[in-house]
Amino acid sequence: MEQNETVTPPPVPPPAPSSGIPQDERQWAMFAHLSALLGGLLTSGWAGSVGCFIGPLIIWLVKKETMPFVDDQGKEALNSNITVGIVFLCLFLLSVLTLGIGLIVTFPLMVIVGIAWLILTIIAAVKANDGVAYRYPLTLRLIK
């Protein structure tokens, strides 16, 4: 390379387009999703499923009147976590009713549902922070 040549840096990509949703609304929507993870960690064990929907419920109830995006995403997080709680309750009851023999089937299903819940919650939090309304798959829409 000759001394007179200058190296030009690669072009800087343009900034991502704004979704039009204020940053504080996007953050509260993200917190609605992530609060389920925090609730699950803090109340692990017998109350794990209950703890997963208390955080989204509180955020949704406090912010639903003033922040439309948080209202939407809070309901979505709440519905998803209630659905997962119902699934875990059904799997637990199946295990008990079969006197533990059902654990052969229910335990692997609990692990699969738990991993899917974790991954989908993280995806939803990232999307909410980007200002994208996320919809969880296979969720009962109990709260409208």
pLDDT digits (tens, 9 = 90+) for 52-84: 888 899 999 999 999 999 999 999 999 999 999
The pTM for the full model equals 0.80
For residue 8, what pLDDT is reported?
75
For residue 123, what pLDDT is reported?
96
Above 70 in pLDDT, residue 129? yes
Model pLDDT for residues 81-109, shown as the tens digit of each residue: 999 989 999 999 999 999 989 899 999 99
Would residue 4 count as lying in a domain?
no
How many other C-beta atoms are found inside a 10 Å radius of the C-beta of residue 79?
Answer: 20
What is the number of structural domains in the chain?
1
- What is the residue range of 46's domain? 23-129
Q: Which of 61, 91, 92 is nearest to 74 (CA)?
A: 61
Above 90 in pLDDT, residue 115? yes
Would residue 1 count as lying in a domain?
no
Cα separations (Å) of 132 from 6, 17, 73, 102, 128?
A: 42, 12, 9, 40, 5
Q: Mean pLDDT lowest for which of 1-5, 13-17, 51-55, 124-128?
A: 13-17
Q: Let me know the angle formed at the C-alpha of 19 by 122 and 39, rounded to the nearest 5 degrees.
A: 25
What is the dihedral angle through the alpha carbons of 46, 47, 49, 54, rounded to the nearest 10 degrees? 180
Would residue 38 count as lying in a domain?
yes
Would residue 86 count as lying in a domain?
yes
For residue 113, what pLDDT is reported?
93
